[in-house]
Amino acid sequence: MKPFRILLFSSFLLIPAIAESQNQVPPPPPPPPPPSAASGQVSKADSLFLAGSIKAAVAEYRKMYAHNKNNREIIYNYACALSRAGETDSSLVYLKKAMIIDPAITALTDPDLLAVRESEGWEVFENELISSVNMKTGNSIKDVAYAKSLWRLLCLEQSGFYETGIAVRNLGPDSPVVTALRRLQSWQNEKNLSEMEALLVSKGWPERSQVGSSAASAPFFVIQHSNAAAQEKYITMFEAVCWKGEGNWNQYALMFDRMRMNQDKPQRYGTHHYLDPAKGRTDELYPLEDESMVDEWRKEIGLEPLKEYLARAGIKYIPAATAK
């Protein structure tokens, strides 16, 4: 579902998810906020979808579509629900309708559409969508083959959060069902990292001008959810692309600080709160490398002052100078 994906991605960028290693079971995500319907209110269909009642959600979206056949958001969410229900041919029909109204790459990274990705008509749809987006954006996607591989991994990187969220809300975080789903996510993270490393070896860190901003962010998300060794291995490559103006400095800062945390070292840019409740409150800032330099380091890469970022992120921080 489009609004849900945007909110989920925003939460990853603003307040990173809990650090994992490849040998650890990733923690369940917090329950996601419900998506907004076209009217600005949460529809019955949206609520049913987020609760996992897919067949009922499909029926409700069908009713909504019958009353408003030109609303892209309704059509797109209907396609997502159909995909989750295993009705891939029908899903693709409505997905095409939504993309005719406004073509967008989000359809290529949405895990709700994983079933459609495996259908016979996906390749034709993907190629047509890329052509439409390139016409709309002035050929923003030049290395199409690389972009396709990155979009696929970005889609897989997000898979499992929807199912785990449902299980957590209904069964609790300690349920064996949640544990099993987290193990599957851990396995998928390992597989994603292996495939991403092969791409980085053969193609290098992707540049926005070649694959578009969405595809260019795929290595960040995959490696961010891996381990310190992988983060340390690729952080220099990521930095070099950022200095060329082809990367995302905010994502770089998040990865650098996550790497430091996974190494049990203080963070540099102040992007993370405590992630382990046993070590500190999860609404408090993780220790800084040098609080007298943090704003200078942030300024060097175009980030706002730490105080402004923390206020926006809802993270508590009392500088040592004022804590005495």
* Domain ranges (residues) in the chain: 42-138, 140-244, 266-323
Fold designation for 42-138: 1.25.40
Residue 90: phi, psi to the nearest 5?
Answer: -65, -40
Does 17 score more than 90 pLDDT? no
Biggest distance spanned by C-alpha atoms of the chain = 65
DSSP state for residue 286 in the 8-state scheme: P
Stronger pLDDT, 13 or 220, i.e. the higher one = 220
Cα 322 to Cα 184: distance, rounded to the nearest angstrom: 45
- Helices (H) then strands (E): counts for the chain: 17, 0
Where is average pLDDT lowest: 1-10, 28-37, 236-245? 28-37
Q: What is the band of 317 on the pLDDT scale with cuts at 50, 70, 90?
A: confident
Predicted confidence at residue 27, as pLDDT, reads 44
Predicted confidence at residue 34, as pLDDT, reads 40
Predicted confidence at residue 174, as pLDDT, reads 93
Contact between 169 and 31 under an 8 Å Cβ cutoff? The reply is yes
A 10 A CB-CB count for 187 gives 13
Two tokens at 311?
């206020």
Does 35 score more than 90 pLDDT? no
Q: What is the band of 18 on the pLDDT scale with cuts at 50, 70, 90?
A: very low
Contacts of 289 (CB under 8 A, 6+ apart): 260, 265, 266, 267, 268
Using one digit for the tens of pLDDT, what is the confidence trace for 250-298?
A: 999 999 999 999 999 999 999 999 877 777 777 889 999 999 999 999 9
Q: What is the band of 218 on the pLDDT scale with cuts at 50, 70, 90?
A: very high
Cα 116 to Cα 122: distance, rounded to the nearest angstrom: 7
Contacts of 21 (CB under 8 A, 6+ apart): 226, 227, 228, 262
Q: What is the band of 320 on the pLDDT scale with cuts at 50, 70, 90?
A: low
Cα 63 to Cα 297: distance, rounded to the nearest angstrom: 53
Contact between 294 and 268 under an 8 Å Cβ cutoff? The reply is yes
Q: What is the band of 312 on the pLDDT scale with cuts at 50, 70, 90?
A: confident
Using one digit for the tens of pLDDT, what is the confidence trace for 180-215?
A: 999 999 999 999 999 999 999 999 999 999 999 999
Predicted confidence at residue 2, as pLDDT, reads 54
pTM of structure: 0.85
Predicted confidence at residue 8, as pLDDT, reads 40
Burial label, 62 (beta-carbon count in 10 A; 0-12, 13-18, 19+): middle
Does 28 score more than 90 pLDDT? no
For residue 76, which of 48, 44, 43, 110 has the smallest C-alpha distance?
A: 110
Predicted confidence at residue 322, as pLDDT, reads 60
Using one digit for the tens of pLDDT, what is the confidence trace for 101-152?
A: 999 999 999 999 999 999 999 999 999 999 999 999 999 999 999 999 999 9
For residue 82, which of 105, 120, 49, 108 has the smallest C-alpha distance?
A: 49
* Whole-Å CA distances, 189 to 5, 91, 223, 224, 292: 19, 27, 9, 10, 36
